[in-house]
Amino acid sequence: MLIKEQIHAAAREVGFSLCGVAKCRSLDVSRTRFEGWLASGCGDGLDYLSHNIDKRFDPAQLVEGAKTVIICALNYRNAITNGYSAEARCKIASYACTTDYHRTIKAMLREVFARLRQSNPTLTGRAFVDSAPLAEKAWAVEAGLGWIGRQSLLITREYGSTVLLGALVVCDEADSYDSPYEGDGCGECRRCVEACPNRAIGSERMIDPRRCISRLTIEREAVIPDNCGLHGWVFGCEECQNVCPYNHSKPIATLPAIAPTFDPRTMTEVDWQAMSDDEFATRLGHTPLSRSGRERIVEAIQK
């Protein structure tokens, strides 16, 4: 059997900002909301989201014998977060200015797993960072880390919404589990809704990705409409996070592995357009920007 406090300690020692432990079950309420979102047409163009819904909300369908979901959160706030001038034309989401977080968090999760196996040698499980149909935000709420804000992001009391998530699904029970987060810290606040340049934030904490700048600039298959303003963003968008009160006066991330490796504030439109594919791969291939590629960024600049 796993000891919850040992799980929390292992996550802290590895460098995670937050950790929660939840018992495997089917998250039926979250599934119903997700299916309603798909039915509304908001998932058009994101066909993969309609696949494996059973696995997304019931980890036992994803990992045979699953008993416990361990959700870890990593604060990524840095100097670039909410650090652009109003005139900036080549804005990149601050989490994308570091080594690809998928690699970083996956390695950290594996280290947590290795530490747990020291006292549980037969423990089995899998680590996930956007690498499988697992509803990580819903499980973060279930594990007590925070609530889902109006902008559909997880909001934590300690770090706001500038956190990246990873999950360990393991095949053993814990001696106790963290309580699901109760309540809604957003209240009547609608700052994120009003700040969204393209009005992509709808009712019931649902996002229309057909309008969302983040999706339009990151997903290669997304078509950027000529009449869709990107407001200076060329990879991702943080407008809804920048105005969130829970993101004000929060600590800067201290883990070296999540520190920025370049500063887009020093780069101009000409710099991006003049960069060759080889130079892009050499300088930025280790970052999440490799997902969209140089041509996609240049296309966004020209919109």
Classify residue 181 by its DSSP letter: P
What is the rounded CA–CA span in Å between residue 283 and residue 261?
9
Question: What gap in Å lies between CA 50 and CA 43, rounded to an integer?
Answer: 8
Here the tokens at position 284 are: 């930025």
> For 118-148, what is each residue's pLDDT tens digit?
999 999 999 999 989 999 999 999 999 999 9
> 118 is written with which tokens?
């020291």
The Cα–Cα gap between 16 and 52 comes to 28
Q: How far is residue 278's CA from residue 126's CA, in Å, rounded to a whole number?
A: 35
On the CB side of 245, how many CA atoms lie within 13 Å of its CA? 7
Which pLDDT band, with edges at 50, 70 and 90, does 6 fall under? very high
Sequence-distant (≥ 6) Cβ neighbours of residue 103 within 8 angstroms: none
3-state secondary structure at position 177: coil
Q: Which two tokens stand for residue 181?
A: 């987060």
3-state secondary structure of 293: coil
Residue 20 has pLDDT above 80, yes or no: yes
Query: Active-site residues: which are they?
Result: 130
Report d(CA 255, CA 26) in Å as an integer: 34
| Apex 244 CA angle, 239 and 250, nearest 5 | 110
Strand partners, 6: none
Q: How far is CA 135 from CA 86, 199, 297, in A?
A: 34, 24, 28
d(CA 239, CA 84): 11
Q: What is the pTM of this model?
A: 0.95
pLDDT in tens, 35-82: 998 888 877 777 788 888 999 999 999 999 999 999 999 999 999 999
